[in-house]
Each structure stands twice: as C-alpha cells, then as structure tokens.
Amino acid sequence: MKVLKDILYKVSVNTIYGDTNLEITQIDFDSRAVKEGSLFVAQKGVSVDGHLFIDKAIQLGANSVICEVLPEKKPAHVTFIQVDDSNTSLAIIASNFYDNPSSKLKLIGVTGTNGKTTIASLLYELYKKAGHKVGLISTVQVLVDTIAYESTHTTPDSVAINNYLNQMIIQGVSYCFMEVSSHGIHQKRITGLDFSGGIFTNLSHDHLDYHNSFASYRDVKKIFFDSLPKTAFALTNLDDKNGAVMLQNTKAKKKTYALKTLADYKSKIIEKSFSGTLLSINGVEVWTKLIGNFNAYNLTAIIAAAYELGMDKLEALTFVSELESVNGRFESFVSDNGVIAIVDYAHTPDALKNVLETINDIRTDNKKLITVIGCGGDRDKTKRPKMAHIASQLSTQSIFTSDNPRTENPETILEDMEKGVTQENSIKTITISDRRQAIKTACKFSEAGDILLIAGKGHENYQEINGERFYFDDLVEVKKYFNLLKK
C-alpha cells in the first residue's frame, strides 16, 4: 500500500482534481481487475481505449484515475490526474509503487528479432551455475530464482515487470535477464527501469503488421539503447547491418561482438556437428553443446555479457561448455530408428533460414531434410510466402501446416504461403492443414539418418484457434510417433 502523492514522483502531470493523500492498494489498467482503493490508469490501447472504462473502474472501487482525457463527470470522492501519456505514467508509477526494484539488482535487457530467449535464458543458467540467485523474464517463463511463473508476453506489462522484480529483491536475487520486445519498448512497458546493460542480437523481418515499416521497427529497438545510462554497457552484434545503429546515441559503454567483423568479442567456428560446436572466442577455445552459426552468435553475446558484468573468464567458459539448449530452441533427439528430430521456435524468415542452413551445413547429401512449417493467423501476412520459399528451397521435403491460425481460416494462410513456392520447388512441397497429421506424415517420410525439423512453435504447447487455446506440443507429438514418451 502506498500514498498516491508518493507514487506520482517523476510523473509529468498536467492537472490534478482531488486529494493526493489517498492510500493506493494496487495499480490497474484493466478495469476488470479493479478493487477497493485501486488507482486506475486509462490507456489508449491498440484496439481498446481504457478511457471508456473509467466509470466501471470507479464503480468497482477505484479511488483515483490517471487519464489523458478527463471525463465530463468527475465524482468528488475520486481523484483525477491528467497526463499526456498514460503508458509512460503507468510505468513510472509501477516502479515507484514497488520502490524501484530495478535499481537494486543488475538488470540486463536483450533485444532483437532472433536469439532473445536463448541469450536471456542461458545467461540465467550461467549465473545459476556460478552460484548466484538469478531472475529471468522471457517468452518461455518468468523465474524468480527458482520460482516459476507462466509467461503471457515476451515483455510483460510494466506493473507485472516491477512486481516480478520486487519479488526478486525479496528473494535475494542479484541478477535479472530480461527479453525486451519491440512492442514492450513502443508501449513504454520498460520506461523507468534501471538497466545495467543491453544486448542487441539482430534485426530481420518481423512484427511489420504492428510497426508498419522496417525502419520504424529498427528505430523502436534503438530507443532502448538510447535510454541506457552511462553506467551500463551496450553490447551489439556488429555483423548485423543495424548493429552499429543501436550504438549511435547511447550514453552506455559501447561493446561489440561478431563472427565476421573485427569486434571487441570475436568468435570463430572451428568444428561443428549435431552433437555440438567448437568455438574460438578471442583466441580461447570452448566446446558447447549448442549447434549452428546463430548459436555461435548467441554464445558470444553471453560470454561477452558475463565478462562485462565482471565474471571470471575461465569460470564463464567452463559454465558455458555445460549449457544445454533452451526449451524449443533447436531441441533435438534421435529416434530408435535413427531419425534426428529437431523442434525449433523459428517463426521468422531469417530464423528459419538460419536453422535450415545450419542443418544443411552438417547433414550429408544422401540424408533427407524434412521440414514442417506454418505461419500464424492475424499476423504479418507478408512473411508467409517468404517463409514458404525458404522452407521449400532449403529442404528435401516441406510440409506446410497450421500454426496458431487464431481467427483466420487456416486454408487461407496456407494459400498465402504457397504463393512463395517456385514451380521448381512445388514438387517437393505438400500441404496438410492439420498439424498433428502433418507431423505424423513427416515422421512416416523419414528414414535412418534423416533430419526432421518441426518449426514455428518451439516451446509453445498450444494451438490458438478462434480465441481458444487447445493443448498441442510439437515435441510431444513427434516423440509420441516414435514411441519415446516413456523412455
């Protein structure tokens, strides 16, 4: 419980109607969650305007309201605070409400199109191995040391973030690694957080349905680095053409990593196989269980971040060699009949290309690569033909299928995908809208030594259809076919 005037610290206020000496029990931006003593923050969302629910929030017990537009009727017992930007105000208030927890630990943000989950999750594992209490805020899950919470967004809302960080402080957590999405940056969810470092992975085609253009998508990512303090480090992938852009206006200590370009942290792949990769990082070799060029980048970023945070170099390399792949990220097993099955979250053109190129770089010519892939509904339609083209071009056999169609007709999504397949590649592609049947078919097609890639969903254990989520796990389905669930 906090006093309203105290949590308004650093909020840019235009007008106040009423008493600010009120006790606030909780902060809500969803009127359905309001309770007696709540502060309700009315946000203008993408599809819903919270200002329309101010009356409902008051009826449910809100004693104060933050809004951009004041309502005509203002009950005398309710305090109204007018601001220019409710999103920014919410983030600052949330941080104040929980006594600014981000300033009491080392908070590292990871942003980019691909690799965020792997880097954040493996940094969590690395620091756990080093004996620290650690926090994780990611697409897969939220971890407060060892206490796990289900994740609903890559970057949660600002109230949830600060609540998690506060729980971490209570549990004695000293480091937190957090995925920072473009939506989270644009919607001001991370405003007011005190970051000790930021990591940029790469930028490729994604979320253009939301950001409208690639330049806008890039510039939103850059905001994160522009806001880092001079006490933080800004670590960027110099092999990505947008990597240097992220550092242009940052006040943080600038650090770079790369495989192809001269950088502060330079890696080279010495050996690679389906069992792992031998890397040389700044001239020091380390064996890792992770596979592929994209993971070489991820591991270089992880080691660089650990060094920048002051971890002993030998200790960092030792623990890195013990790290396992993240759930749903190039997660593999070998069936009893010798098929190599891989489940991966790749759901962007660039991520899919990276995974397929990695597999093709290792597999022998006489072994097939069978890919099961779909595209989500109610999302960026322009990437559908690109995904299909990449899958059909780089696979021996491609099966297009359903992947979270949401409110769209799965057949329409598949038709969009098929537009990207050339006539030359059409002979090695088939369409099966039922995902379970598609996976079964791929398993039937596979023989000893073949590689079976099921892409797009990774860690997700559901199919989202017409507003409902139905249990569905790619890894479970493929193991079920190969009778490996109980082994």
| 33 pLDDT more than 60 | yes
Q: Are residues 151 and 207 in the same domain?
A: yes
How many domains does the structure of the chain reveal? Answer: 3
For residue 69, what is the domain's CATH number? Answer: 3.40.1390.10
Q: Is residue 454 part of a domain?
A: yes
DSSP letter for 102, please: G
Q: Token pair of 15, please?
A: 């007008």
Domain closes at, from 288, 320, 352: 320
Q: Is residue 486 part of a domain?
A: no
d(CA 443, CA 144): 38
- C-alpha distances in Å from residue 216, one per residue of 110, 222, 344, 350: 19, 10, 28, 18
For residue 131, what is the domain's CATH number? Answer: 3.40.1190.10
At 364 the pLDDT is 86
Contact yes or no for 7/24 (Cβ under 8 A): yes
Q: Are residues 174 and 289 in the same domain?
A: yes
Q: Whose CA is closest to 373, among 396, 398, 349, 348? A: 398
For residue 450, what is the domain's CATH number? Answer: 3.90.190.20
For the entire predicted model, the pTM comes to 0.89
Contact yes or no for 37/25 (Cβ under 8 A): yes
At 74 the pLDDT is 95
pLDDT tens by residue, 73-129: 999 999 999 999 999 999 999 999 999 999 999 999 999 988 999 999 999 999 999
Q: Are residues 264 and 341 in the same domain?
A: no
d(CA 63, CA 66): 11
Q: Is residue 326 part of a domain?
A: no
Q: Are residues 269 and 353 in the same domain?
A: no
State the average pLDDT over residues 230-242: 97
Q: Token pair of 142, please?
A: 């939220």
pLDDT tens by residue, 421-479: 999 999 999 999 999 999 999 999 999 999 999 999 999 999 999 999 999 999 999 99
State the residue range of the domain holding 229.
101-320
- C-alpha distances in Å from residue 394, one per residue of 17, 354, 414, 475: 63, 10, 18, 22
Q: Is residue 487 part of a domain?
A: no
pLDDT tens by residue, 357-377: 999 999 988 999 999 999 999
Q: Are residues 177 and 252 in the same domain?
A: yes
The angle at the Cα of 139, spanning 216 to 477, to the nearest 5 degrees, equals 120
Q: Token pair of 261, please?
A: 């370009």
